Amino acid sequence: LAKTTQPISMDSYEGQEVNITCSHNNIATNDYITWYQQFPSQGPRFIIQGYKTKVTNEVASLFIPADRKSSTLSLPRVSLSDTAVYYCLVGLMEYGNKLVFGAGTILRVKS
Amino acid sequence: DADVTQTPRNRITKTGKRIMLECSQTKGHDRMYWYRQDPGLGLRLIYYSFDVKDINKGEISDGYSVSRQAQAKFSLSLESAIPNQTALYFCATSDGSGTYNEQFFGPGTRLTVL
């Protein structure tokens, strides 16, 4: 299993860009990098997924360097409603038990 | 209506009781999963099923069993509940194609074992 390391918590202010970095030194060739968001007492929600370089969707961007040993989730212009836990996952769900949710990063957005 | 529903949403039970948590989905997905989450921790996979005839153990299956009654229904049972099974339980689904790791989660069942 690819182990991930991400900061325990981060603070930001409304309107700022937030970057959360995840380390995954032993990522396997077939592994994808996936980020989820979780609000209190709710199930996680898929944000974005990538394999290499850069992926962008309507809510976030994901930057993956060439060696794929780390990745950065970028949230543009955060608001108070972006306060949540963000999980970095590395794996491939084709083999179910290879997808592991770590402790995640608690992002607190302040006004 | 929610695509992934879980019943009950909250349950308090006693040590030694058998309890079943149910999950239903209207997304038409073949793949279903059960996770548990403990305070301050991430989610851990208990069981997963890639189709009606396929059941697989996850990271922490001891003390749990599952039943895939239909494509849309996946139940988790605790045969003899114990206090350290007190947790938040989530069911999830995926379609196994396209975005590989995209799962859709239910609202969760908060289980307390006294």
3-state secondary structure of A98: helix
Is B44 in contact with A49 (Cβ distance < 8 A)?
no
Q: What is the pLDDT of residue A97?
A: 54
Q: What is the pLDDT of residue B96?
A: 72
Work out the pLDDT band at A31, boundaries 50, 70, 90: confident
Q: Is the pLDDT of residue A92 over 80?
A: no
CB < 8 Å from B in window 71-110 of A: 87, 89, 91-94, 96-97, 99-104
Residues 6 or more apart from A80 whose CB is under 8 A from it?
A: A14, A109, A110, A111
Q: What is the pLDDT of residue B101?
A: 78
Q: Which amino acid is at B30?
A: D
Higher-confidence position of A91 and B7:
B7
Higher-confidence position of A16 and A99:
A16
Low-confidence stretches of chain B (pLDDT < 50) are none
Distances (CA, A) of B68 to A62, A111, B10, B63, B89: 35, 46, 22, 17, 17
Tell me the C-alpha distance between B30 and A53, whole Å: 30
| Residues of chain A found within 8 Å of residue B25, distances taken between Cβ atoms | none
| Residues of chain A found within 8 Å of residue B105, distances taken between Cβ atoms | 42-45
